[in-house]
Amino acid sequence: MTTVLRSVAQLRAWRRELPVGTRVGLVPTMGALHEGHMSLVKLAQLRCDVTVVSIFVNPLQFGPNEDLTKYPRPIEKDLEQLQASGVDALFLPPVEAVYRQDASTFVVEECVSTPLCGAFRPGHFRGVATVVLKLFNLVQPDIAFFGQKDAQQCAVIERMVRDLDVPVEIVRGPIVREADGLALSSRNVYLTPQERAVAPKIFESLTAARTAYERGERDARALVAVGREVLAAEPLLRVQYWEVRDPASLEAIERVGKGGALLAVAAHLGTTRLIDNLVLS
C-alpha cells in the first residue's frame, strides 16, 4: 500500500521512521504518469530499499504564457499506477506546502541551463533547480532518478549536485518511446489525431542524423542540416531548435569527436511543444 504524504510534516515524520541505513530512491514527477515515469520507478526499486515518488506541478518552472493551468492532473489514475507498482510513498503536496508566500531564495545554475530550452524558456531551470533541491532536502534520497528525454534538465541537476555537494546520486533512465518512435510525454495528450500522426517525424529527424554520423559524417552543421531537412517536409511542425551539443557541458561543437554529441530538438505541433534528443557516442 502506497503511503500518501501531503505535507512537509508528514513526509519528515515518515522519513524519520525509516531504519538507519535504508537506501531511499526518489522519482520526482509532475504527475500524468506514463510508462516513462514507471520505468524510472522500476529502476528505483531495483537499486533501493524504499521508493518515493513526488507529484508536484511546479509553478516556478512555467512561464507566463505556458500551460500551468491546463497541465494534466489525473491524480486518481496516477495513484492507482503507483499502488499497483508497489511504490512505498507518494509525496503529494499543495503549492503552499512547498513555497512560502514570501519565499525569496532560489537556485540558479548559470552554464548548462542557458542554451537549448533555457534560451526560449527564461526562468524555467531556475524553477526546476529550486524545487529539486527542496525535494532532496525533504526526502533525503540516496539516489534520484530522472528521464533522459529531459536531457538538459538532467545536466542542470547533475551540475547543481556537483557544485553544491548534495549527497545524492543522479541516475538517468533511458527514453521510453511509442512503437513509432515518439518519446513518451505527459503533453502528448494535447496532440490532435493529425498532429499525433506527424509527431514521430521528430525522432525520425534524429535517427536520420545518427545514420549520417554512422556513415562517417562528423561536421555538426551537416548533421543539423540532415535533421532539419526531415522536419522541413512537415508544414505542421515548427522547429524551435535543432542542435548538436557536447553531451556533458551542452556547449556548441563544430565537429563530433571522441566525447560524442547530444542531438537535441524542440518543435511545436499546434499549441504543443515537444522535445527529444539522441546521444551519439
The residues annotated with a catalytic role in the active site are: 37
Q: Measure CA 98 to chain center.
A: 20
Task: At 218, list the grid cell.
Answer: 562528423
Residue type, 175: I
C-beta neighbour count of 76 within 10 angstroms? 7
Residue type, 229: E
| DSSP-assigned letters across all residues of 173-196 | EPPPB-TTSPBP-GGGGG--HHHH
Contact predicate 108/126, CB 8 Å: yes
Residue/partner pairs of 19-24 with CB below 8 Å, 24 or more apart:
22/49, 22/50, 23/47, 23/48, 23/49, 23/50, 23/142, 23/143, 24/48, 24/49, 24/50, 24/51, 24/52, 24/139, 24/140, 24/141, 24/142, 24/143
Strand order in the sheet with 24-29: 3-5, 89-91, 50-55, 24-29, 143-147, 169-173
C-beta neighbour count of 163 within 10 angstroms? 11
Q: Kindly give the pairing relationship between strand 143-147 and strand 272-280.
A: unpaired
Strand partners, 278: 263
